[in-house]
Each structure stands twice: as structure tokens, then as C-alpha cells.
Structure 1
Amino acid sequence: MLILFASCKKADYQKVTHDPELYRVTVKKLNDVVLENNFPPVIASRNYAYANIAAYEVIAAGDPKHFRSLAGQIKHLTATPKPNKDKEIDFQFASLLSFCFVGNAVTFPEGSLTTYVDELKQKAKDAGMPSDVFENSVAYSDAVAKHIMAWSKKDNYAQTRSASKYTVNRTDGRWIPTPPMYAQALEPHWGEIRPMVLDSASQIPAPEPPPYNMTDKNGKFYKAVIEVEKMVDSLTTDQRHMADFWDDNPFKLNVIGHASFATKKFSPGGHWMNIAGIGTKIAKSDFGSTVAAYTETSIALFDAFINCWYVKYKANSVRPETVITKMINPDWRPYIQTPPFPEYISGHAVISAAAAEVLTHDFGNEVAYTDSSESEFGIAPRKFPSFRAAAEEAALSRVYGGIHYKNACIVGTMTGRKIGVLVNQKLQLKIKK
């Protein structure tokens, strides 16, 4: 009876700590911290990637028959500390703590997840986790998290904090700051960050965009500009909804008269973190598979942003708003706010297509779902027949929003797909039976 009682108590706390919904909630907690503290999309992708990798490495160590460590699969990651076989560890609980440890370290203010970590620990204790299992799990999670943090510090992020600022070139066709913030160029050196799967930021090149030419009315560039202007001026209700749904602006400056205030949404990467969670829920993935799906998606997002930013600052292309207000209609405004970085290629197109390829690889090409990620911002849900269809809509939404030419979105989608395919080819998280 004592053995039966002990077994029941173990099952009780594992029902809590092994619930994949708890991991989805934990990722959302980090997403909220990223939103509240105005992290730009590229930096947000770094936060998600390292936190998820830390959680995954714990899972892989605890279940090596089903999951393969990322050490040796992604750039410069060495083998993580191995667990002591003589000590009982709840690896699911440890993975949650490892995620939060790294999430706390890579966000600011540092320690933003501390209260939530305390809640997780209390939840485990209240569910009956034995003190030795609790202590062993905390110790192992810390060991893995510290290993991931040491690796993360060599990705050139710190060096880019003090890199030279972007110099605005006001030659026609070059990007310049746009209203209402007229903000400096965002992260012009992000292409120098160490990728995880790509050999380099330039591994998957993009063709040159059409050259700037507003004198040839039959030229590709002129037609692209007019297309954006007319599209924004005649948006349907559904097109407006599409643009709002995929806006994902982490910091929109609203100006009313002499007053100004900011509104926040999830970044594009944060939106796709939510979609990854939806995929795991539909598939009824267990805890380990849920962590793996988030991790693969976050790696694809991270590398996609690095590639995209390399292309953006190499092309340095002007935004539609700048051209239209200067050459066609000074009173014209895009439907959504123009972000502070060059136009070509579309970041949302690249990262969405990359994430969609990974999720399609994990869950299939015919996973219909409803995305209610934006409901908390007062934006109605949208339905999609597949992850790829969602990515294609995300790309097109940037044209409806008036911040991209269609070519940047088409090329961005193609580039993102190639990155996603490469991630699928190079990474093997789940060990096939």
C-alpha cells in the first residue's frame, strides 16, 4: 500500500508538471515580457530562441531515446551537462525552469519572470513533488541554463551594441526615417549576429530589387509604387482586417494633435510563437514534442531575421510612404505605421514563411486552425487552412498595410521557405523509431 500511495503521489505532481499546456503558458509569459518592454522583433527572436533551446536541452537529456541534443547541430553549441543518474529529476519541470532562467537573463529588466518562477515552484510543491526531486530538478535546470547562457554570449550580440550607427543616405531610392517617429534605423548590424543553422547571413541570397525610377511610368518600380498607393486607398473590410491582424507592431506611436502615446502588440516572432502553440495543441503533442516544436520554430525565426536584416541593409531600399508623399501625394499615409528600417525584403514575409515550413514539417500541410492571438488587442480571429496559407497572407498583408511593395513580399516568402527547408533538413530533434 505504501508503494501504491507513493506511486499515486508521483502521478499527481507529474499531472501538473508534465502538462504541455503549462509550457505553452510559460512561453506566453515570456511573450508578455517582450511585449511590455518594447523589444524590437529581431531582439525578441533572440529571446525566444535561447529560452526554448535551454528548455529543449533539458528534455533531450532526460529522454535521449526520443530526442536528440542540439549540440553539434547548431552553431558552436557544445554538449550540455549530463544529469546525475543517481538523482531523480523531473525533466519537464526542470525544462520550464531552464526556459525561465534564460528568459530572465536575456530580457530586461532582468528578473522579469521571477514572480512567475516562484509560482511554478510553488505549483510543483503543492502538487506533492518530493523535496529531493525538487532540488535535483532546480539544480539541473540551472546547470543547463548557465551552459546555454555562456554559449549565447558568443553570438556577437554584445559587440553590435556598440557598433557604428546607421548613416542616412538621402539619395533617391535609399531608405530614410519615416513619420511619425522618424526613428533611427533599427539594428543595422543584426546581419552580423551568429546564426544557428545558416552558414552565414548571406547563405540564402535575394535578387536585387527593381531599381528606383519614378520617371519611367512603364517601369517595374513606378508600377509597384502606384500599386501600393491605389491598394491602400481602396482597401476592403477584409483587407483592413488582414493588415491589422498581421501588423504585429511592438511599438506604434499614435499622434493626436500635440499629444502622443504608444500602443503595443506582439512582434511578428511572438505571433508565430503563439501559432506554434496552436499547432501543438491541435496535434495533442506531449510535453517533449511541444518543447521541440517551439524550439525548431524559434530557431527558424532567429536565422530568418538575421538573413533578412542582412538583405535589408545591403539593399537599403526606400519605403512606399517616402516615395508616394514626395512624388505623388504629400497627404498620403499607409494604413499601418511604417517601421524604422529599409523596405526590401519584407521581414514578416521571410520569418512567416520560415516558421510555416517548420510547423508544416512537424504537423502537416493540412492543419486548419483559427488564430485568436490578436484577440487581446481587440482584433478578431482569422481562420487558415494551413500554416503556409497563413504565411502567404502575412506577406500580402504588408502590401495592404502600405509598407511594402509586392515584390519584397514575394521574394521574402521564397527566401523564408528556403530557410525553413534548410532548418528541417539540418535539424533532427525527434529521433525516428
Structure 2
Amino acid sequence: MNRFLILLAGVALIFSSCKKADYQKVTHDPELYRTTVKKLNDIVLENNFPPVIASRNYVYANIAAYQVIAAGDPKHFRSLSGQIKHLPVSPAPPKDAEVDFQFASMLAFCTVGNAVTFPEGSMEIYIDSLKQKAKDAGMPSGVFDNTVAYADTVAKYILKWSKKDNYAQTRSASKYTVKRIDGRWIPTPPMYAQALEPHWGEIRPMVLDSAAQIPAPQPPAYNMTDKNSVFYKNVMQVKGMVDSLTTEQKHMADFWDDNAFKLNVIGHASFGTKKFSPGGHWMNIAGVGSAMKKADFGTTVAAYTETSIALFDAFISCWDIKYKANSVRPETVITKLVNPDWRPYIQTPPFPEYISGHAVISAAAAEVLTQAFGDNIAYTDSSESEFGIDPRKFTSFRAAAQEAAMSRVYGGIHYKIACTEGNKLGQKIGDLVNKKLQLKIK
């Protein structure tokens, strides 16, 4: 009889272990985290978040997820508390209570993403679907309840911290003053929109000590009377390129356009179209790197998190420079002084020209992803396929960043010097993030 009971107990234990392994195959799958990040990306797109605000959505959601992973696996992942100097110590997981940390990380990501996007609650349906997926996979009710509770605890801690980053204060800050002075930015057609987020340089960064920590050279002085001036040559270079674009150059410009909201005007009719923001595009690329390298769940979360931190700080640095320089866009100069009928290939966004945001953030993200997944990692980026744009192949993340920068010249919205200097600045920011943050314990 005793042998029979022992046998039964053994069978029960094996069954229990198999059941546990079954649900973890679902909740520990890095593809599910990539899908979760893409879901937030879709919501950011649908609700027309401008690129700088989108970067804020990504960074807090990913940090919430990462802090859960670090709490659950401290032997392999180091908490960001203490590495990001203003991030308080993360809540410890409950003692003697089993938590599925991978599943908790996704719930924390979604809860934070749910709160920092609008309309608030946009991720509720997806959160419910995640919970149902875990239940259907056989997650025990006790583990489920513990996991949900811990995810909520971490999410609340991150949201409380996020409220001190000066975002709320910048909502009521003064607007940009339009002055029609030669060389100074003014709104451009067809939207003639107000300057976007002129106080973003005042947002609290993650790794940078301040927005101005890493300086960039001053832009060339406005001078359209001297044909040998740096400014004049940059203006005419943009015009010449746009007037003679090759099919390949047009593809580059379209691929990296990443205009969160483009106003299309046809006769008396107008309509808007949306794409991922530049930061959203690089979130997708982080997912490509994770999938290509077959990274495990924790490594995947760490890569997304460090990329989002690099993007966030890069936007703050870039925007600080933009609104100190207040440089005029090529479209304004060319239509006023060269050809009134000239138009850029892609639509000019509503903020000053120098320094190129795409160049800065792309290079910063590329440095982080290079450290995470390696240099010279050839990959195909099909992020824009859902917008009818063919994929592009790259030999490395850095090569992609360089193309992203140059694409803005082909698009006719930046001078080349703003892109080359932007790429240099982004590399320095990405390098600083790599040096200051050590997420994985070697």
C-alpha cells in the first residue's frame, strides 16, 4: 500500500511539473514580450503620439518590466535602482510566494503603458488577453494571483517615480514664439503646426546628468548671400538631391520617414495618415535583434529597456539643442529665395531643423543594440511593410543608423551637417548609456 501511495505521489509530482512546464512555455516565450511591446507601439501610433512623448511611453513601460525581471533573477540581471541615480529601490517580491516573473514583467509593462498613454485604458483588452492566455496554459491560481499582485506593485512604483520627471509641468509651459527673422524656424506647410514640445529639453533624463551634458557644434550661421558659405552650400545640396532623387534614395526616405501624423492635401480635401514614430521604429528593430539572436526572455527585456533609455535621453538632448538653435528648415529658405514651388520629398515636421532627431536617436539606439547583440549583425527590417513600404536589408545596426540620418537629407527636411553631427551626438549618448548601465551580470 505504501509503495502504491509513493508511486501515486511520484506520478502526481511528474504531472504537476509537466503542467508547470507547459504554462511556462507560454509565459516565458520572448516572442510574447516582443508582441507586447508591439501592442504598445500600435496604441502609440493609433493615438498619434509625437515622437518625444512616444519615447516616454516606451521607457517607463520597459523599465517596469525590467525591474521585475531583475528582482526575479538577481544572479543574472542587475536592478536599475542605483544605476539610474533618481530611481528608488524596487519593491522586493513577496517571500514564500511563487511568482512567475516573466509573466509579471509583461503585466507591469502593460499596466504602465496603460497609464502613460491616452485614452487611459487603451491596453485593458490586451491585458485581459494575457491573463487568459496564462490561465488557459494552466498557470495555478495561487501563482497567478501572486504574479498579478507583484506586477501591480512594481507598476505603481514606476508610475509614482515617473510623475517627477517634469512632464506635467511642461504641459502648461509657454509656447514657442514665432519670429520672422532670417535663419529662425517658422511653421511649414501644409499644416503650419505649432512648434512641437519646445520644453522637452527640461524633461528629467535617465542617464545623462542634464540635457546639455554632451554638446554639439553650433549650426552654420545663416548666410544666403555668400554662395561659398557653409549654410548656402548645405541649402543648395538639399535642393539638388531632392531634385534628382534615385529610386533607391526615395525608398530610403520613405522607409525612415516615420511621420507619426502626415497631413495629405489633395485639392480642397485633406486627410491624415499615420506611421510609427522614429522611436517606435527602433523598438521594432530591437525586436528583430532579439529574434535573430534567439535571446531568452530576460535578455530580450533588457535589450528593449536599454534601447528605450537611449532613445529617451537622445530625444531630450536633441530637443534641447533644437530649441536653442531654432534653425530654419530647408523648405522655408528654398521656397522664399530659390524656388517658390519647391517642396521636400517627405513632409517637414513641426520643429526646428538643427540637430536631426532621427540621426541622434538612431545612432544612440544602434550603439546600445550593437552592445546587446553584436556588431555586423546583418538583418532585414520589415517594420514598414504594414504601411506598404518594402523591407530594407542592413549589414549592422550602425549602418542602419547612418542610413536613417542620410535619409533626412534625401527627404529634403534636413541639411547634411545636421545629420552627420546628429549621428556623432547619438553615438556619444549610446556609448554613455552602455558605460553607465550594466543590466546583465556577466
Q: Distance in 1 between matches of 2:105 and 2:113?
A: 12
Shift of 1:169: 1.6
Give 1:1-400 correspondences, 5 Å limit.
1-400=11-410
**Could you tell me the TM-score, scaled by structure 2's length?**
0.97
Q: Distance in 2 between matches of 1:366 and 1:201?
A: 30
Shift of 1:130: 0.2
Give the length in aligned residue pairs: 432
Secondary structure at 1:370 match in 2: strand
Secondary structure at 1:45 match in 2: helix
Tell whether the 8 Å contact from 1:160 to 1:189 is kept in structure 2 after alignment.
yes
CA offsets, 1:22-65, max 9 Å, x none?
Answer: 00000000000000000000000000000000000000000000
Shift of 1:363: 1.0
Tell whether the 8 Å contact from 1:75 to 1:195 is kept in structure 2 after alignment.
no
Paired amino acid for 1:305 = F
The aligned counterpart of 1:407 is 417
Paired amino acid for 1:339 = P
Q: Distance in 1 between matches of 2:234 and 2:176?
A: 27
Largest Rg, 1 or 2? 2
Paired amino acid for 1:12 = D
Secondary structure at 1:110 match in 2: coil
Q: Distance in 1 between matches of 2:75 and 2:17?
A: 23
CA offsets, 1:236-285, max 9 Å, x none?
Answer: 00000000000000000000011000000000000000000000011110
The aligned counterpart of 1:429 is 439
Secondary structure at 1:261 match in 2: strand
Q: Distance in 1 between matches of 2:18 and 2:304?
A: 31
* Consecutive aligned runs of 4 or more in structure 1 exceeding 4 Å deviation: none
Secondary structure at 1:429 match in 2: coil
- CA separation of 1:163 and 1:182: change in aligned 2, threshold 3 A: same
Shift of 1:2: 0.3
Tell whether the 8 Å contact from 1:276 to 1:359 is kept in structure 2 after alignment.
yes
Shift of 1:85: 2.4
CA offsets, 1:297-351, max 9 Å, x none?
Answer: 0000000000000000000000000000000000000000000000000000000
Q: Distance in 1 between matches of 2:136 and 2:375?
A: 41
Q: Distance in 2 between matches of 1:226 and 1:96?
A: 49
Q: Distance in 1 between matches of 2:105 and 2:367?
A: 25
Shift of 1:75: 3.5
CA offsets, 1:211-246, max 9 Å, x none?
Answer: 000000111111110000010000000000000000
Shift of 1:84: 1.3
Paired amino acid for 2:29 = D
Secondary structure at 2:421 match in 1: helix
Q: Structure 1: any 5+ residue segments left out of the alignment?
A: none
Paired amino acid for 1:227 = Q
CA offsets, 1:380-399, max 9 Å, x none?
Answer: 00000000000000000000
Q: Structure 2: any 5+ residue segments left out of the alignment?
A: 1-10
Tell whether the 8 Å contact from 1:254 to 1:261 is kept in structure 2 after alignment.
yes
Q: Distance in 1 between matches of 2:94 and 2:278?
A: 39
Q: Distance in 1 between matches of 2:29 and 2:62?
A: 16
Identity fraction in percent: 82
Q: Distance in 1 between matches of 2:266 and 2:63?
A: 43
Q: Distance in 2 between matches of 1:426 and 1:138?
A: 31
**Could you tell me the TM-score, scaled by structure 1's length?**
1.00
Secondary structure at 1:374 match in 2: helix
Paired amino acid for 1:102 = V
Q: Distance in 2 between matches of 1:254 and 1:413?
A: 30
User: What is the Cα-based RMSD across aligned positions, in Å?
Assistant: 0.4
Shift of 1:364: 1.1
Q: Distance in 1 between matches of 2:68 and 2:334?
A: 52
